């Protein structure tokens, strides 16, 4: 059982016993004080110690000091002429305060548990092959280029490339997705994932300090350093507010009796009211519940594969009014596909056959799309004298025929008449005769349109697309996804300028930029919120972005916004609820209507309710 809970239970029993002693005996006040001091000191020794420590460190004004002063006053007020003893109230204040702190601790533990799954991805060891022998070492001791062995059930300790073996990887801790990812020779693997089935031999590509798992853990551990405006305001507010409250309580205890002309008779009454004022004015409901809400929001986002670098970015996400997208790799797959084949003097299969064989040894994305569209290997024909023509395409001899595959500039250089078609087109000529053209296109992601629709449902007013592609290609994607505005044929510097104009133009809400995180670092850094998409393992993304979507799913962006808005709403509810209740009880305390237990409920009770409200974020 929790030690604090045991203290609370024992104190409650001792308090009941002390009340029985008070009611059944006629002990002098000083003896009765000794009876109540037993439960009081048991429940409050740590709070008194913390308030003393604050005084010693020159930072005395905190909720521990307020509670200590209030309870000391309650213990001493019974010694004043004509005043009733308040010993039970003194113990009850500390008892209820500790109950509130217990709820706070529980909520913080739950929030920490919500991101603890990320801490579980930290690898304890790595099995490295050295001179053909397996050795278990610390991941920090593995060098780039070493071969590590990852057996079924092991965590992947370092980033690398599969040299041997096939398996499935559990990526849920990184992406929030339960679907395993298959890997084979040549595929990249990321630290923090778990090998499900076969044994893998992996060549390490990043040292442990630069690996995905280290960067993500650092990001999560440092997230709370970037506080939201609400948290920053409340921290500053508490520093000024607490000493003001203490001074106000002293004035409330002293000034009215002095003004009345009967100080001795009225001092006990106004001291009692001042003690109530102190207790109810304690700002712990605000100081605790607001950061707790944002911490819970960050934890909930991380469980869904979205890392938010701090509460300030969670705050900005909640206020998004404009979202700007990069196109390639963000709204589209970033992989070209053959859309249509248009032969001139041969059938479509033969045209694709020629183009794919000439492009067989090229790693250009368009060449890859041609090879993927025509699967048979190159041994079907003789391909010789392969030559790359810079900025134009490829030339080769296929079965004795000169075949050129490239763009319109290549056809113009050859003096071959060609069909003028917009978009990304590959033209083919055979022996200086036009053979036809192949249209390739970067395909829009399956979840792009639904995700943009969800964005609008969250309240985002404007969606913009910026791309370096040709206007026709950019326009086609913009039309397909119904974005409000698009700009094409942009260099990285042009994207920065367009985003700056959007930020400087009067608009509602914050501006976010969503990119793949590799060549969009300047724009990600400029936006109110930079969101890196599908950037797992990308150093540029993790460093430049404020929010990192761990997988490639656009649907995570509206989900993150919903989480952020719920977080901000709960924080606001807590602030207004706490202030409203406290103001009401403060007014009643000054008027002499409220009792000390009401002040306790107004402070600790409100704190408990605010903490429970913040814990709603932990719901699945």
What the chain holds in terms of domains, given with CATH numbers, is: 126-157+159-205 (2.70.150.10), 305-331+445-563 (3.40.50.1000), 333-443 (3.40.1110.10)
Of 276, 266, 270, nearest to 252 by C-alpha is: 270
Alpha-carbon gap, residue 300 to 559, rounded angstroms: 10
Pairing relation of β-strands 383-389 and 393-398? antiparallel
pLDDT exceeds cutoff 80 at 440: yes
pLDDT exceeds cutoff 70 at 265: yes
pLDDT exceeds cutoff 70 at 217: no
Choose the catalytic residue: 64, 154, 315, 326. Answer: 326
Distance of CA 366 to the CA centre of its chain: 36
Higher pLDDT, 499 or 610: 499
pLDDT exceeds cutoff 60 at 193: yes
Task: Kindly state the average pLDDT of the residues 1-29.
Answer: 88
Stretch among 38-47, 280-289, 298-307, 562-571 having the lowest mean pLDDT: 280-289
Task: Kindly state the average pLDDT of the residues 464-493.
Answer: 84
Looking at residue 113, what is its pLDDT?
58
Task: Kindly state the average pLDDT of the residues 367-375.
Answer: 79
Of 454, 445, 481, nearest to 561 by C-alpha is: 454
Alpha-carbon gap, residue 555 to 454, rounded angstroms: 8
Task: Kindly state the average pLDDT of the residues 278-297.
Answer: 74
Stretch among 68-82, 351-365, 378-392 having the lowest mean pLDDT: 378-392
Looking at residue 234, what is its pLDDT?
59
Stretch among 114-118, 367-371, 576-580 having the lowest mean pLDDT: 114-118
Taking the CA atoms of 340, 346, 347 and 352 in sequence, report the sign of the dihedral they define: negative
Pair of tokens at residue 368: 């890859």
Query: Which residues on neighbouring strands pair with residue 512, listed in sequence order?
Result: 323, 529
Alpha-carbon gap, residue 428 to 436, rounded angstroms: 6
Looking at residue 545, what is its pLDDT?
79
Pair of tokens at residue 262: 């009967």
Any catalytic annotation for residue 447? no
Q: Dihedral, CA atoms, 216, 221, 223, 224, nearest 10 degrees?
A: 170
Q: In which band, very low, low, confident or very high, does the pLDDT at 295 lie, cut at 50, 70 and 90?
A: confident
Looking at residue 68, what is its pLDDT?
83
Pair of tokens at residue 202: 């992996």
Task: Kindly state the average pLDDT of the residues 396-408.
Answer: 87
Give the end-to-end CA distance of the chain in Å, rounded to a whole number. Answer: 27
* Max avg pLDDT among 107-121, 160-174, 280-294: 160-174
Pairing relation of β-strands 510-515 and 167-170? unpaired
Q: In which band, very low, low, confident or very high, does the pLDDT at 269 lie, cut at 50, 70 and 90?
A: confident
């Amino acid at each position: 059982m929790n030690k604090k809970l045991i203290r609370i239970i024992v104190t409650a029993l001792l308090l009941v016993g002390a009340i029985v002693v008070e009611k059944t005996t006629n002990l002098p006040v000083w003896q009765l004080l000794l009876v109540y001091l037993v439960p009081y000191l048991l429940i409050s020794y740590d709070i008194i110690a913390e308030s003393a420590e604050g005084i010693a460190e020159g930072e005395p004004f905190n909720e521990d000091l307020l509670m200590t002063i209030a309870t000391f006053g309650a213990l001493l007020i019974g010694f004043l002429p004509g005043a009733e003893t308040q010993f039970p109230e003194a113990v009850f204040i500390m008892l209820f305060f500790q109950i509130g702190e217990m709820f706070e601790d529980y909520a913080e533990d739950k929030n920490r548990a919500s991101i603890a799954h990320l801490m579980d991805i930290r690898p304890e060891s790595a099995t490295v092959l050295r001179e053909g022998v397996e050795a278990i070492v610390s991941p920090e001791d593995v060098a780039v280029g070493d071969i590590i062995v990852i057996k079924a059930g092991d965590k992947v300790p370092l980033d690398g490339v599969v040299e041997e073996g096939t398996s499935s990887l559990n990526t849920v801790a990184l992406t929030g997705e339960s679907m395993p990812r298959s890997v084979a020779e040549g595929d990249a693997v990321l630290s923090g994932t778990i090998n499900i089935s076969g044994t893998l031999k992996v060549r390490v590509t990043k040292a442990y300090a630069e690996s995905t798992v280290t960067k993500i853990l650092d990001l999560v551990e440092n997230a709370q350093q970037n506080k939201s405006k609400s948290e920053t305001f409340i921290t500053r507010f508490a520093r000024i507010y607490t000493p003001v409250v203490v001074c106000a309580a002293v004035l409330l205890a002293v000034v009215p009796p002095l003004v009345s002309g009967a100080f001795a008779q009225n001092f006990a009454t106004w001291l009692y009211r001042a003690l109530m004022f102190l207790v109810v004015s304690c700002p712990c409901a605000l100081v605790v519940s607001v950061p707790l809400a944002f911490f819970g929001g960050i934890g909930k986002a991380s469980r869904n594969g979205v890392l938010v670098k701090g509460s300030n970015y969670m705050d900005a996400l909640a206020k998004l009014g404009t979202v700007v997208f990069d196109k390639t790799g963000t709204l589209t797959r970033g992989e070209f596909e053959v859309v249509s084949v248009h032969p001139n003097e041969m059938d479509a299969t033969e045209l694709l056959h020629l183009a794919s064989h000439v492009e067989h040894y090229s790693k250009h994305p368009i060449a890859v799309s041609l090879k993927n569209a025509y699967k048979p290997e190159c041994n079907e024909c003789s391909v010789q004298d392969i030559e790359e023509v810079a900025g134009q395409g490829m030339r080769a001899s296929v079965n004795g025929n000169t075949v050129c595959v490239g763009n319109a500039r290549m056809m113009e250089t050859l003096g071959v008449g060609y069909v003028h078609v917009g978009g990304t087109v590959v033209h083919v000529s055979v022996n200086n005769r036009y053979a036809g053209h192949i249209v390739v296109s970067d395909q829009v992601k399956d979840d792009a349109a639904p995700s943009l629709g969800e964005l609008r449902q969250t309240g985002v007013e404007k969606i913009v697309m910026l791309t370096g592609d040709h206007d026709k290609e950019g326009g086609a994607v913009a039309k397909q996804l119904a974005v409000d505005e698009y700009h094409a044929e942009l260099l990285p510097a042009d994207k920065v300028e367009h985003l700056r104009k959007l930020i400087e133009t009067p608009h509602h809400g914050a501006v976010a930029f969503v990119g793949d995180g590799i060549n969009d670092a300047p724009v990600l850094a400029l936006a109110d919120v930079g969101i890196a998409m599908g950037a797992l393992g990308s150093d540029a993304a993790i460093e430049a972005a404020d929010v990192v979507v761990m997988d490639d799913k656009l649907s995570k962006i509206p989900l993150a916004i919903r989480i952020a808005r719920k977080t901000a709403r709960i924080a606001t509810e807590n602030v207004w609820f706490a202030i409203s209740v406290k103001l009401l009880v403060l007014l009643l305390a000054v008027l002499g209507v409220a009792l000390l237990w009401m002040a306790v409920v107004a402070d600790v009770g409100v704190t408990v309710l605010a903490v429970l409200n913040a814990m709603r974020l932990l719901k699945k």
